[in-house]
């Protein structure tokens, strides 16, 4: 007996219809600014509250990253869980701790952490005020490949939990299979030895040609081994703006302090302006030219920028070469847009406050 599989129409028609619907849905769900007041937190079985800035679980689907906010009341300890994707944490309020594969890390406002893929983790708040942090994860990208897996172990002690997935570290030989085993073994050893925590107290901001001063929070340049997510913070001087640029993919900016506006446009002129304030998330994608401004004439603005440049965007650049996918204006225009940051009397760096 033979069976025949058919769609009734050609693959061309099926794919064309499917791809058209996908881009229509994508554009319908797009946001330029997700305001703080638009994010509602909900109690969860883990013991805290969770809200969605961007992500399918909050009706704002994405393709590569999601952005969630987590709150923990005093005396709270969450359940322990792990997942096949990794996540970046940025603390915005309160003092607490996170246990990552049995290692306890104390944190406070402005600190950043990396939760590696398949690492068991839980968080707690032993203070007197509500703790609040944001997570940025690569779950949507893994979901597109059918590789998103989550495991919740409740209150199981770490000593009773299974370790991360096993892997073969070495195999002799010079054939392609042996080379692959050794290559992937080196990769896993490197990833599992990466840095986990950046303290706000250790940050040092450096002036940039874009008219701001900036620092890495989570990046391979400072010892982190992630799935390509990189997190940096930049500070904009009172009444000034960052120079314009554009790139593909999803890039988000969480406003830590201050208020201002962002220009977004398909061309360097004639686009739209979007105001933002503390606690908002600025959404930049669709290969738009963008530029961020601080509207306060007296105080600086601090923004945390998150994107997947070291994985997704670098892959896109390689696949599309010789097309240029990361663009800035010529230096003489860039320098005119970005005033010299060395002329600014930058304030002392203090931990963020909430609200």
pLDDT digit string (tens) for 78-94? 999 999 999 999 999 99
Determine the pLDDT at residue 326.
85
Q: How far apart are CA 67 and CA 229, in angstroms?
A: 12
Which tokens is 197 given?
A: 């925590």
The pTM score is 0.92
Determine the pLDDT at residue 8.
67
Q: Give 262-318 pLDDT, tens digit per residue.
A: 999 998 889 999 999 999 999 998 789 999 999 999 999 999 999 888 888 888 888
Torsion 137-140-146-148 (CA) sign: positive
Q: How far apart are CA 345 and CA 244, in angstroms?
A: 23
88 contacts: CB under 8 Å, gap ≥ 6: 112, 113, 114, 115, 135, 136, 137, 217, 218, 226, 229, 231, 306
Does residue 325 or residue 8 have the better pLDDT? 325
241 contacts: CB under 8 Å, gap ≥ 6: 211, 291, 292, 293, 294, 337, 338
- Residue 213 CB coordination number (10 Å): 22
Assess whether pLDDT exceeds 60 at residue 5: no
When mean pLDDT is compared across 122-136, 160-174, 235-249, the lowest value belongs to 235-249
Which domains occur in the chain, in start order? 33-161 (2.60.120.10), 197-343 (2.60.120.10)
In order of 48, 102, 131, 201, 205, the CA distances from 108 in angstroms are 17, 19, 9, 10, 19
324 contacts: CB under 8 Å, gap ≥ 6: none
Sheet with 206-207, edge to edge strand ranges:
33-34, 281-284, 251-257, 301-307, 230-236, 213-218, 206-207
pLDDT interval class at 1 (50, 70, 90): low
Assess whether pLDDT exceeds 70 at residue 7: no
Q: Where are the beta strands (DSSP E) in 166-300?
A: 197-198, 206-207, 213-218, 230-236, 251-257, 259-265, 272-277, 281-284, 289-294
Tell me the percentage of the chain whose pLDDT exceeds 90. Answer: 72
């Amino acid at each position: 007996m033979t069976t025949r599989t058919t769609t009734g129409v050609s693959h061309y028609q099926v794919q064309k219809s499917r791809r058209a619907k996908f881009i229509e849905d994508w554009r319908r769900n797009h946001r330029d600014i997700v305001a703080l007041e638009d994010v509602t937190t909900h109690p969860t079985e883990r013991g805290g509250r969770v809200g969605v800035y961007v992500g399918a679980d909050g009706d704002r689907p994405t393709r590569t990253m999601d952005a969630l906010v987590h709150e923990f009341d005093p005396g709270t300890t969450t359940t322990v869980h792990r997942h096949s994707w990794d996540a970046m944490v940025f603390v915005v309020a309160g003092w607490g701790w996170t246990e990552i594969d049995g290692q306890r890390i104390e944190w406070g406002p402005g600190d950043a952490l990396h939760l590696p893929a398949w690492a068991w983790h839980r968080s707690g708040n032993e203070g007197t005020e509500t703790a609040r942090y944001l997570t940025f994860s690569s779950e949507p990208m893994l979901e597109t490949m059918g590789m998103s897996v989550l495991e919740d172990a409740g209150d199981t002690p770490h000593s009773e939990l299974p370790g991360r997935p096993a892997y073969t570290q070495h195999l002799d030989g010079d054939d392609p299979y042996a080379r692959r085993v050794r290559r992937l073994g080196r990769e896993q050893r490197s990833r599992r030895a990466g840095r986990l925590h950046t303290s706000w107290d250790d940050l040092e901001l450096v002036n940039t040609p874009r008219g701001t001063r900036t620092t890495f929070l989570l990046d391979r340049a400072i010892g982190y081994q992630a799935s390509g997510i990189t997190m940096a913070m930049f500070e904009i001087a009172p009444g000034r703006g960052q120079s314009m640029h554009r790139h593909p993919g999803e890039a988000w900016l969480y406003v830590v302090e201050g208020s201002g506006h962002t220009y977004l446009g398909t061309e360097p002129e004639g686009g739209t302006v979007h105001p933002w304030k503390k606690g908002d998330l600025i959404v930049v994608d669709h290969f738009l030219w963008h530029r961020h401004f601080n509207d306060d004439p007296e105080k600086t603005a601090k923004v945390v920028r998150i994107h997947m440049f070291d994985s997704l965007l670098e892959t896109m650049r390689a696949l599309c070469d010789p097309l240029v996918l990361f663009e800035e204006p010529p230096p003489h225009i860039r320098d005119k847009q970005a005033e010299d940051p060395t002329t600014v009397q930058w304030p002392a760096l203090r931990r963020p406050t909430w609200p």
